[in-house]
């Protein structure tokens, strides 16, 4: 602890309140300073204002967007696509990853393919998505899938291969039934990893939908941001970046909230937000 | 934390035949798959997986006869790939993209490790920067493309900024987790030898955290590769990412897929190189795979 | 309860780099029904491999295992197993763990509850039914593991250094507890250990194994009356006999 905090924790009635204020201040002062610096720069350096706008302008932009409902509509449209893509990915990637974790041969065949496809950006998939699935929802879902798949797959796979082998042996001494082992050992033992994969998958899907909205969209946070970029409107671009970050934080927090309250005995030290 | 695995290594699954682990295998006896568990055979099986993918692709092309623009056959794509690799333009594109990825990755490693060390050393800084780091993690590199374009104009900095951004966060968080996982015991042992904090960091903490650091670096490198397409949307006119982007706009599907293969292979090769580097620097248990 | 017959078991491992390790060579001995047999030996003497073969988790290259006169080749309900280390399912309570084998046998919930409760009481864990394994002390943890293996009423109980991670006092207490449980249940027990004192305290019959290649170097019957005094002179003499066979190479 620094000297400042020692002094603040000196005995007396005020120490509790001061300590609370100090801890809030600690978390907040860097963003506040950064915003202040940004604002000052934009006021005194007109060239900068054209490129990165100012906090005041961005805030005003967001406020008006909130007021006229456009923010809500766009966030809603993007969220819908992201959540759908997330669920589709979970349904496909989780069983594949569990199979790869438990069946060595399958892993040896599938993992190299996964590794080869992983470095490829979702942007590269856009023309293929359009050609194969048109410009509707499905092509956007494909883009979201392409980003989210690897995150979910690798986390679940990792969880399955980390199942302590002794637990599988214990099961074998009681029954040779593979379905029983799957249901009563493999699934519960890897559950934490599955949840972690779903958590990272959710925020990844949110990022992926931004890219997906390059495909024939006319609504959504990504679409609006890209339109603003094409119109050289940095204020709106930054406003939408802020929105993207905020919604990402909220999604992550919501997921943790749901899972921590619903399944406390399953959530371990792995499901932090950082 | 990011417990998922970095990089290729199907061979690693096959060959790490740890004696004790064999006690608890699901099959009762040594199966034929285990007998193939030497490194070269592992690579053969890796190739088999890809071969099956190629065969499946060929079958789809032959059965359904899609238009080449919708799904070119493997021959089309590989033919195109061979042609592209015969042009010097392609090689210069590959080189430029590789340079952008490596530059961003190295900067990401340097800054990521430094920031991680700072955060673990100074809890005050950790709390101060936490809000910023967590918030920025959700703003994907792609979202920075417009701003980077305005800010950095035509310079290389704009592209390297994106690849740096893509790798920095995951490296910083992984390295921090790795440092925090170093047992206090090791640090106390160093103290009994009267080691300074700096020497303790370099000779005890970082080596102990090395496996996690390498995992973070491999993840960071893979994210940098994914980001190269976004990076080369920032006022670029060169690079494989740029090539794929404009080929996509012209619906030159065979070029797009050839480009994807090139990136896939480059990603694989650089990851293997990094993994080898990790094992050379500190031989011993690799990151589990 | 059934007897065990180990009949000329051999097994060789091939390490990934091509080296061959002869884990077991011509291992043969018998354990009478209801008997308590300890296998003692240093690291590398093949104890764990033998354990896995008897449990049915590994197949030998030569030889066979007979339980009650029948050849066994894979794991089965007739042989309960207590593994080394943390083998309880961390997501299940103590009762959930003890019921596991019963669930695998397809028994109904009320039956499972009833049977598991009786074994939880038997091992002295009454009141801890709802506890999670992470909250248990070392001794309690192993008691739960023993209860889980006994719940399916196996004829034979195989135990691989179950008390190895316990501190000395907990270990001695658990040894006494195990003898008590054995005397109540009458199960045939095969117990692997590297502690000579533990073997002499627990066993009617001690099999001494030696390494490279893994083989039986001595079979010692222990006729000391129960409950045994670890500090007694006759106890010490048996230990001496075991040590003698541990340090000298076996004759061909």
Q: What is the pLDDT of residues A168-216, one digit of tens each?
A: 999 999 999 999 999 999 999 999 889 999 999 999 999 999 999 988 8
pLDDT in tens, C85-96: 899 999 999 999
Q: Is the Cβ of A167 closer than 8 Å to some Cβ of chain C?
A: yes
Which residues of chain A fall below pLDDT 70?
1-14, 261-274
Q: CB contacts < 8 Å between A and B, how many?
A: 218
Contacts of B244 in chain A (CB under 8 A): 123-124
Which residues of chain B have a Cβ shorter than 8 Å from any chain C Cβ?
15-17, 19, 22-24, 28-29, 37-38
Residues 6+ apart with CB under 8 A from A257: none
- CA-CA-CA-CA dihedral for B144, B145, B147, B148, to nearest 10: 100
Q: What distance lies between CA C115 and its chain's CA centroid?
A: 22
Contact call for B253 and A31, based on CB within 8 A: no
Q: Say if A189 is an interface residue toward chain C (CB within 8 Å).
A: yes
Mutate to test the interface with A, among B26, B135, B161, B215 (most CBs of A within 10 A): B26
Disruptive mutation site among A163, A173, A268 for chain C (greatest number of C CBs within 10 Å) = A173
**Phi and psi angles of residue A15, each rounded to the nearest 5 degrees, phi first:** -65, -35
What average pLDDT does the structure give for chain C?
A: 90
Report chain A residues whose CB lies below 8 A from the CB of B229.
Answer: 121, 123-124
Residue of C nearest to A177 (CA): C104
pLDDT at B29: 41
- Calculated CA dihedral for residues A206, A211, A216, A218, nearest 10 degrees: 60
Minimal-distance CA residue of chain A relative to B126 = A27
pTM (2 decimals)? 0.85
Tokens for A97?
Answer: 């990853």
Q: Which residues does residue A26 pair with via DSSP β-bridges, in sequence order?
A: none
Query: By CA distance, what is C56's nearest residue in A?
Result: A173
Look up residue A150 and give its two tokens.
């690897």
Alpha-carbon distance A51 to nearest alpha carbon in chain B (angstroms):
6
Residue B236 dihedral angles phi and psi, to the nearest 5°:
-100, 155
Nearest to A166 among C87, C92, C101 (CB): C87
CB-nearest to B15 from C16, C48, C75 is C16
Average pLDDT over residues C37-61: 90
**Chain C residues touching A166 at Cβ < 8 A:** 83-87
Contact list in A for residue C59 (CB cut-off 8 A) is none
Subunits with 3+ C-beta pairs closer than 8 A to B: A, C
Q: How far apart are CA A80 and CA A90, in angstroms?
A: 15
Which of B136, B149, B225 lies nearest to residue A119, judging by beta carbons?
Answer: B225
Closest partner residue to A109 (CB to CB) among B7, B52, B245 is B52
**pLDDT tens per residue across span C73-131:** 889 888 999 998 899 999 999 999 999 999 999 999 999 999 999 999 999 999 999 99
Q: Which chains touch A (3 or more CB pairs under 8 A)?
A: B, C
Among candidates C70, C197, C93, C99, which has minimal Cα distance to C141?
C93
d(CA A169, nearest CA chain C) in Å: 8
From chain C, pick out residues whose CB is under 8 angstroms from the CB of A186.
none
Contacts of B29 in chain C (CB under 8 A): 58-59
Nearest to A166 among C80, C83, C103 (CB): C83
* Helices vs strands, H then E, count in chain A: 13, 0
Q: Please, which residues have CB within 8 angstroms of residue B10's CB and are 6 or more apart in sequence?
A: A107, A108, A111, A112, A115, B42, B43, B45, B46, B49
C230–chain B nearest CA distance, Å: 33
Which pLDDT does position B288 carry in this prediction? Answer: 39
- For residue B8, what are the CA distances in angstroms to A70, A92, B12, B47, B271? 44, 21, 9, 12, 7
CA distance A266 to A62: 39
Closest Cα in chain B, distance from residue A35 (Å): 11
Q: What is the DSSP letter of A185?
A: I
For chain C, list the contacting chains (3+ Cβ pairs, <8 Å): A, B
**Among C190, C137, C145, C160, which Cα is nearest to C84's?**
C160
Q: Which residues of A touch B145 (CB under 8 A)?
A: 229
Cβ pair B43, B14 in contact under 8 A: no
Interior/surface letters B201-215, b for 16+ CB within 10 angstroms, e for the rest: beebbbbbbbbbbbb
Direct distance between the N- and C-terminal alpha carbons of chain A, in angstroms, rounded to an integer: 22
Class of residue B175 by CB neighbours under 10 A (exposed 0-12, middle 13-18, buried 19+): buried
User: In Å, how far is B46's CA from the nearest CA of chain C?
Assistant: 18
Distance CA C221, CA C191 (A): 15
Mutate to test the interface with C, among A172, A174, A185 (most CBs of C within 10 A): A174
Question: Which of helix, strand or coil describes residue C231?
Answer: coil
What does DSSP assign to residue C92? S
Q: Do B17 and C52 touch (CB under 8 A)?
A: no
> Which residues in A226-239 are b (16+ Cβ under 10 Å) and which e?
bbbbeeebbbbbbb
Q: Tens digits of per-residue pLDDT, C208-227?
A: 998 888 889 899 999 999 88
pLDDT of residue B22: 44
A52 chain-B contacts, CB cut-off 8 A: 147, 150-151
The rounded distance, in Å, linking the Cα atoms of B6 and B125 is 29
Cβ–Cβ under 8 Å, residues B258 and B240: no
Distance CA C46, CA B220 (A): 44
Q: How many CB pairs under 8 A join B and C?
A: 23
How near does any CA of chain B get to the CA of A200, in Å? 8
Of A99, A161, A5, A35, residue with least CA distance to B12: A161
| Whether C75 and A265 lie within 8 Å, measured CB to CB | no
Q: Is C46 on the interface with B (CB under 8 A)?
A: no
Assign residue C31 a region (left: φ > 0; alpha: ψ between -120 and 50; beta: otherwise).
beta
Q: Which of the residues in chain B have pLDDT under 70?
A: 1-42, 284-289
CA distance B29 to chain C (A): 6
- Residue C237, chain B, CB below 8 Å: the answer is no
Which of C18, C47, C50, C58 is the best substitution to test chain B (most B C-beta atoms within 10 A)? C58
List CB contacts (< 8 A) between B37 and chain C.
16
Question: From CA C142, how far away is CA C165, in angstroms rounded?
Answer: 10
Cite the beta strand spans of chain C per DSSP E.
4-14, 20-31, 36-40, 62-67, 70-72, 79-82, 156-160, 188-193, 205-210, 215-221
**Residues of C whose CB is below 8 A from B15:** 16
Which one of B15, B16, B23 has the shortest CB-CB distance to C48?
B23
Q: Pick B138's closest partner by Cβ from A196, A197, A248.
A: A248
A28 contacts in B (CB within 8 Å)? 131
Nearest Cβ partner for C52 among B17, B23, B38: B23
Residue A87 neighbours by CB distance under 10 Å: 16
């Amino acid at each position: 602890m620094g000297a400042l905090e020692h002094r603040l924790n000196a005995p007396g009635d005020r120490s509790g309140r001061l300590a609370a204020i100090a801890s809030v201040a600690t978390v907040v002062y860097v963003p506040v300073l950064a915003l202040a610096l940004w604002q000052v720069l934009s006021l005194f350096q007109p060239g900068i204002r054209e490129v990165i706008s100012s906090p005041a302008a961005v805030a005003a932009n967001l406020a008006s967007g909130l007021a006229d409902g456009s923010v809500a509509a766009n966030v809603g449209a993007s969220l819908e696509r992201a959540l759908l893509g997330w669920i589709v990915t979970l349904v496909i990637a989780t069983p594949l990853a569990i199979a790869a974790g438990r069946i060595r041969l399958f892993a040896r065949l599938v993992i190299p393919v996964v590794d080869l496809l992983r470095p490829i950006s979702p942007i590269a998939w856009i023309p293929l998505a359009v050609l194969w699935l048109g410009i509707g929802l499905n092509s956007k879902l494909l883009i979201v899938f392409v980003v989210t798949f690897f995150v979910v797959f690798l986390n679940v796979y990792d969880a399955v291969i980390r199942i302590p082998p002794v637990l599988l042996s214990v099961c074998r001494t009681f029954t040779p039934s593979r379905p029983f082992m799957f249901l009563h050992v493999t699934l519960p033992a890897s559950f934490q990893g599955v949840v972690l994969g779903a958590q990272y998958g959710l925020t990844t899907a949110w990022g992926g939908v931004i890219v997906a909205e390059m495909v024939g969209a006319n609504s959504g946070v990504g679409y609006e941001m890209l339109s603003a970029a094409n119109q050289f409107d940095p204020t709106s671009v930054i406003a939408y970046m802020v929105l993207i970050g905020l919604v990402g934080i909220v999604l992550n927090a919501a997921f943790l909230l749901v899972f921590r309250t619903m399944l406390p005995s399953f959530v371990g030290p792995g499901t932090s937000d950082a | 934390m990011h417990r998922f695995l970095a990089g290729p290594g199907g061979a690693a699954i096959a060959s790490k035949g740890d004696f004790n682990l064999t006690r608890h295998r699901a099959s009762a006896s040594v199966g034929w798959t285990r007998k193939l568990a030497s490194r070269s055979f592992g690579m053969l099986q890796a190739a088999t997986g890809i071969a099956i993918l190629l065969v499946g692709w060929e079958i789809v092309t032959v059965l359904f006869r899609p238009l080449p623009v919708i799904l070119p056959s493997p021959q089309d794509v590989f033919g195109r790939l061979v042609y592209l690799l015969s042009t010097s333009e392609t090689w210069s594109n590959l080189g430029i993209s590789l340079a952008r990825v490596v530059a961003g990755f190295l900067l990401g490693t340097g800054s990521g490790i430094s920031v991680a060390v700072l955060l673990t050393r100074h809890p005050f800084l950790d709390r101060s920067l936490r809000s910023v780091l967590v918030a920025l993690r959700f703003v994907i590199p792609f979202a920075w493309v417009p701003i980077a374009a305005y800010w950095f104009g035509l310079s290389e900095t704009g592209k390297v900024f994106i690849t740096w951004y893509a790798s920095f966060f995951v490296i910083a968080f992984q390295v921090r987790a790795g440092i925090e996982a170093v047992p206090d015991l090791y640090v106390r042992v160093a103290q009994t030898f009267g080691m300074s904090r700096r020497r303790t960091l370099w000779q005890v903490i970082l080596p102990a955290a090395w496996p996690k650091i390498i995992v973070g670096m491999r993840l960071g490198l893979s994210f940098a590769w994914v980001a190269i397409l976004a990076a080369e949307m920032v006022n670029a006119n060169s690079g494989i990412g740029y090539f794929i982007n404009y080929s996509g706009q012209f619906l030159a599907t065979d070029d797009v897929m050839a480009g994807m293969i090139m990136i896939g292979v480059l990603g694989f090769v650089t990851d293997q190189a990094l993994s080898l580097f990790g094992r050379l620097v500190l031989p011993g248990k690799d990151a589990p795979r | 309860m059934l007897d065990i017959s180990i009949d000329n078991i051999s097994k060789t491992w091939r390490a990934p780099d091509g080296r061959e390790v002869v884990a077991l060579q011509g291992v043969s001995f018998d354990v009478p029904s209801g008997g308590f047999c300890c296998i003692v030996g240093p690291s590398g003497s093949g104890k764990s491999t033998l354990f896995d073969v008897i449990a049915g988790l590994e197949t030998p290259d030569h030889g066979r295992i007979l339980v009650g006169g029948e050849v066994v080749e894979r794991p089965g309900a007739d042989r309960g197993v207590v593994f080394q280390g943390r083998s309880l399912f961390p997501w299940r309570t103590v009762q959930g763990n003890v019921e596991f084998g019963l669930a695998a046998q397809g028994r109904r919930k009320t039956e499972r509850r009833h049977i598991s409760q009786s074994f939880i009481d038997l091992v002295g864990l009454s009141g801890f039914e709802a506890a999670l394994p992470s909250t248990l002390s070392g001794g309690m943890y192993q008691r739960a593991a023993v209860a889980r293996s006994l719940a399916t009423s196996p004829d034979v109980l195989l135990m691989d250094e179950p008390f190895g991670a316990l501190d000395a006092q907990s270990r001695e207490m658990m040894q006494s507890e195990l003898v008590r449980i054995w005397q109540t249940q009458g199960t045939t027990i095969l117990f692997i250990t590297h502690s000579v004192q533990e073997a002499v305290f627990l066993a009617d019959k001690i099999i001494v194994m030696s390494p490279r290649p893994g083989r039986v170097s001595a079979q010692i019957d222990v006729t000391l009356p129960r409950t045994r005094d670890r500090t007694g002179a006759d106890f010490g003499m048996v230990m001496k006999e075991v040590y003698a066979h541990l340090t000298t190479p076996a004759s061909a």
